[in-house]
């Protein structure tokens, strides 16, 4: 009975080796993709966000054409779209405008949270699959060692080391991307909340 139980466990572990390796390759590809995604985001929007918040607030507070001011500002595309949507409803009461602003800000925060959670999840999963990829080949390797089969042992150890390295690299890259994005998006949301407050106050005093 005990022997059959161990055979089942060994069969399950062996069957998981190929899926684990494939998942590690996909996680590494995702890590490379997120680096490219981050660079595109930096060069298309982040590096162009050069504005002084107090100056922009004063301009929005005094301008007669909010939409044109937003279009000419150095805010990123999503920020301009949110503020333009808020400014496009001057007929709303102050309470409804504040409710709309809160709703738009919550959706924007949820969008950024989803992006960060993707890389956070990959950073957590990659070491786990790397550990699985390390342990699974050791079973056949130990058996080969007992039988004096050094070739099978060396292949098993090489697979174990390679999967560990791939898992750690993917996790490290995703962790760095998450850290950078959290800093960027935190600043985005802070500026956006201040600008949304400015537009709500402007319409309330108009």
Give per-residue pLDDT as tens, 136-180.
888 777 777 777 777 887 888 888 899 999 999 999 999 999 999
- Average pLDDT of the chain, as a whole number: 88
pTM of the model: 0.86
Distance between terminal CA atoms of the chain?
Answer: 83
Burial of 104 (0-12, 13-18, 19+ CB in 10 A): middle
DSSP alpha helix (H) spans, the chain = 2-44, 53-62, 66-72, 77-87, 94-135, 138-147, 150-205
């Amino acid at each position: 009975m005990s022997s059959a139980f161990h055979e089942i466990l060994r069969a399950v572990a062996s069957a998981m080796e190929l899926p684990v390796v494939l998942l590690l390759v996909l996680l590494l590809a995702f890590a490379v993709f997120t680096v490219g995604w981050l660079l595109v985001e930096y060069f298309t929007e982040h590096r162009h966000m050069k504005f002084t918040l107090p100056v922009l607030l004063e301009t929005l507070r005094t301008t007669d054409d909010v939409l044109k001011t937003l279009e000419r500002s150095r805010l990123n595309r999503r920020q301009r779209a949110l503020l333009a949507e808020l400014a496009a409803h001057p007929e709303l009461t102050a309470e409804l405008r504040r409710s709309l602003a809160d709703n738009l800000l919550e959706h924007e925060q949820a969008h950024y949270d989803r992006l960060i959670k993707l890389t956070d999840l990959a950073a957590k999963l990659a070491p786990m699959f790397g550990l699985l990829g390390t342990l699974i080949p050791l079973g056949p390797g130990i058996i080969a060692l007992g039988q004096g089969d050094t070739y099978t042992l060396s292949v098993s150890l090489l697979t174990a080391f390679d999967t560990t390295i791939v898992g750690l690299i993917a996790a490290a890259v995703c962790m760095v991307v998450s850290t950078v994005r959290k800093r960027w998006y935190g600043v985005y949301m802070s500026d956006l909340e201040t600008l949304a407050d400015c537009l709500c106050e402007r319409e309330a005093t108009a």
